[in-house]
Amino acid sequence: MTTTVESDQLLVERVQKGDKRAFDLLVIKYQSKVLSLIGRYVSDVHEAMDVAQEAFIKAYKALANFRGESAFYTWLYRIAVNTAKNHLISRGRRPPGTDIDVDEVHADGGMSELSHIDSPEASLHKEQVEQTLSKALEALPDDLRTALMLREFDGLSYEDIAQVMDCPVGTVRSRIFRAREAIDKQLEPILESTVNC
């Protein structure tokens, strides 16, 4: 089984071999964190989008030299922070004095200050998503729900879950996938109006 870093590293290696599809996966996986991070410097959502795009493009161009000595997300977040700072400077604005701890952002999901996040519509949407998730989780068969919860909330690896549930690793993988598939059916109508990626 692979770890967090190894999984990203597999994608990075595919990108380094010229596979842009692998970069699409990395963009979607990290866009939320990157936008949160940039949101600490740039509050306007359109401006933040431009900076995030620039940061990902810079990362892609620099990826040939990425050796995996640090985690991909740490490397990416540093590029995002520097791009946001340079963006402010280029517009005659001063970046905040204190630097952001990129590892902290990865751990806590980031506290964004993007303007659209604070809107009543966004809060309502967040509430809707959480309620749907909660209901969908409750409706799952026991074996699927247990496997998913052990993974998501207890952070267990597939191998550890297999031991806890006394089943093969392949079964754990399949159960977690089927749990997500079932939740996705409930979630898709709510997200499809907003998720465009």
Partner 1 sequence: MSDKIAESLSALLDNEATELDVRRLTKTMTDEDLDTWARMCAMKQGLHKENVSHQSINILDGIRAGIADEEIVAQPKPAASGWKNWLGGAGVAAAVALAVVGIGVQNNDFGSEAGGQLVTNDQPVATEKSEPAADVGETRLAAGDMSPEQYKALQDKLRSYMQQHAENSPDDLVGDVMPYARVVSFEVEQAKQAEK
Residue 165, exposed/middle/buried by CB under 10 A (0-12, 13-18, 19+)?
A: middle
**Which of the ranges 79-87, 89-97, 98-106, 178-186 carries the binding residues for partner 1, by CB under 8 A?**
178-186
Q: Does 139 bind partner 1 (CB under 8 A)?
A: no
What CA–CA distances, in Å, run from 104 to 48, 57, 97, 107? 20, 23, 17, 5
List binders of partner 1 among 16-35 (CB under 8 A): 16-25, 27-29, 31-33, 35
Tell the smallest beta-carbon distance from residue 154 to partner 1 (Å).
12
Q: Does 189 bind partner 1 (CB under 8 A)?
A: no
Tell the smallest beta-carbon distance from residue 123 to partner 1 (Å).
9
List binders of partner 1 among 62-121 (CB under 8 A): 63-65, 67, 109-110, 112, 114, 116-117
Instruction: Name which of 20 and 91 has its Cβ closer to partner 1.
Output: 20
Q: Does 160 bind partner 1 (CB under 8 A)?
A: no
Total binding residues for partner 1 by CB under 8 A? 76
Question: Of residues 91, 151, 162, 163, which one binds partner 1 by CB under 8 A?
Answer: 151
Question: Of residues 70, 82, 163, 194, which one binds partner 1 by CB under 8 A?
Answer: 194
Instruction: Name which of 20 and 94 has its Cβ closer to partner 1.
Output: 20
Instruction: Name which of 78 and 116 has its Cβ closer to partner 1.
Output: 116
- What b/e string do you get for 28-65 counting C-beta neighbours within 10 Å, with b at 16 or more? eebeebbbbbbbbbbbebebbeebbebbbebbeeebee
Instruction: Name which of 17 and 91 has its Cβ closer to partner 1.
Output: 17
Spatial separation of the C-alpha atoms in residues 43 and 100, rounded to whole Å: 15
**Which of the ranges 49-57, 71-79, 83-91, 93-101 carries the binding residues for partner 1, by CB under 8 A?**
49-57
Instruction: Name which of 56 and 85 has its Cβ closer to partner 1.
Output: 56
Q: Whose CA is closest to 176, among 139, 142, 151?
A: 151
